[in-house]
Structure formats: C-alpha cells, structure tokens
Amino acid sequence: MHPAIAELPSRLFYESALVTAQSAASGQAPPSFPWPSAATPAAFLDVRSREARDGQSHSNVGEVEAVVAVVDRLRAGGVSLESVGVITFYAGQSRLLRRRLPRSVECNTVDAFQGREKDIVILSCVRANEGCRCGFLSDARRANVSLTRARHGLIVVGHAQTLQADQTWGEYLRWARGRSLVLDDWQTALKAEGNAKRREGGGKVERRDGAKKRRGDKQKKAAKENGPHSASGQQ
C-alpha cells in the first residue's frame, strides 16, 4: 500500500503502526487519471445524487455513473482493467455496478473484498440523504477494510455532506481536504482528460483512414490504367 494513502488508516485504526511494503511505495499511480495531488495517489469525488432503496439494500445511480466515468478514463489511458477493483458497502450498489462495468473489472462489496488488494481501487460509498445517515459506513471495521485495499491509487466516490456527519468519514474528509484531494467538479476534470485522449485518438484514426483512402484511390487508378492492357495480354 502506497505510504501516502496508508497514512490515514494507519492513524485511525493502527495507532500509526501500519507498515507498507517497499514494492507498494515504489509503485506508480496511472498518470491518465487527474490526481489532484502528485504526492498522494488518492482522490475524493463529491457526487451530489441521492441514495435510493434497493430491496433490503441501498443504491446510488449518480455514483454508478461516476464510477463508470472513472473506469472509462483509466481504460482510455491504457490501464489494465484487471488491476482495477470496485468496492461498495451495499449489495444493491454492487449489482448496479456489475451491470455497467466490463467483466474484467472485479466488483464486490467491502465485506467480500476483505483480504484482497488491487493496484487501483474505486470505492462507492452510496449513502446520501438529508438526515446524513451513514449506515454500514459507520462500522469502523468496514471503513478500515475499504480504505486499505489499494496498492497504488484510491478513488473514493461519495456524498461529502452525508459522510462528514460520521466520525471516521469526517476524519477522512478533513484529511482529503487538507491535502487538496477533493474533486468537487469531477465531471469537468474527467471530461477534460477524456476529450484530450479522444482528440489524440481521433487524429490517429483520421490519419489511418486517410492513408487507406489514398491507397484505395491509387489502387483503383492502377486497376483502371492496367486493366485493358492486362486483358489484351491474356488474349
């Protein structure tokens, strides 16, 4: 686990005694994602959509859209999706995410992901309500697991107003804000990065198409010029 993202859980859950592997410290977060700070491979996306009941569970469609946008941005930047994990506190949200994400992205609940790690982890917090009720998020054990699954980069998607009412997540937000890790306008940040990549990719496609068109024109011209001679030669 990268030392910069291990700092907070170490202080909150391990009395600052959490030891990180040297290999994790030397790992690099993918530059294709607009990390707010070059020193800390972490980000909080403040998504202001409301939660909804999903049977006995909860879901948040706005957070699903945000997670999909992040995965698309990582994929466009050449990140192997097998190195990306998406976790959430609620089974209802996990079901929605699985319907929208590529199969190569492992997606599960925080409980099911315990003991697992991925290079990049995207956490969907789900809860967003007027009463600032956090439900499962208030469980310190689950919070610990959710914040310690990433080796090289951690992206948390949540509703800041709801989360800050909880002691643990309030600490997380103070930590994130103190290091300028909060992406309030995350849609613009991701769109700007995506547009740049699309422009680069679009230029390449246009050049390839143009080259094919030119080759096709030359072949047609050659066939037209050589066709009659070839026919007479065969006769």
Q: What is the pLDDT of residues 167-203, one digit of tens each?
A: 999 999 999 999 999 998 999 999 875 555 544 444 3
Predicted confidence at residue 229, as pLDDT, reads: 42
Judged by DSSP in three states, 92 sits in helix
Q: Give one word for 30, left, alpha or beta, with left for phi > 0 and alpha for psi -120 to 50.
A: beta
Pairing of strands 57-59, 52-54: antiparallel
76 within a domain of the structure (yes/no): yes
Q: Is residue 170 part of a domain?
A: yes
- Residue 209 falls inside a structural domain: no
**How far apart are the C-alpha atoms of 52 and 61, rounded to whole Å?**
8
What's the residue count for the chain? 235
Q: Decide if 143 is inside a domain.
A: yes
Residue 179 sits in a domain of what CATH number?
A: 3.40.50.300
| Domain of residue 118, residue span | 3-9+41-192
Q: Report the number of distinct structural domains present in the chain.
A: 1
Residues 86, 67: contact at Cβ < 8 Å?
A: yes
pLDDT, tens digit, 9 for 90 and up, residues 107-166 = 999 999 999 999 999 999 999 999 999 999 999 999 999 999 999 999 999 999 999 999
pLDDT given for residue 215 in this prediction: 44
Measured distance CA(47)–CA(15) in Å, rounded: 31
Q: Is 153 strand, coil or helix?
A: strand
Pairing label, strands 106-109, 42-46? unpaired
Residue 215 included in any domain: no
The tens digit of pLDDT for each residue in 38-77 reads 899 999 999 999 999 999 999 999 999 999 999 999 999 9
Is 178 domain-assigned? yes
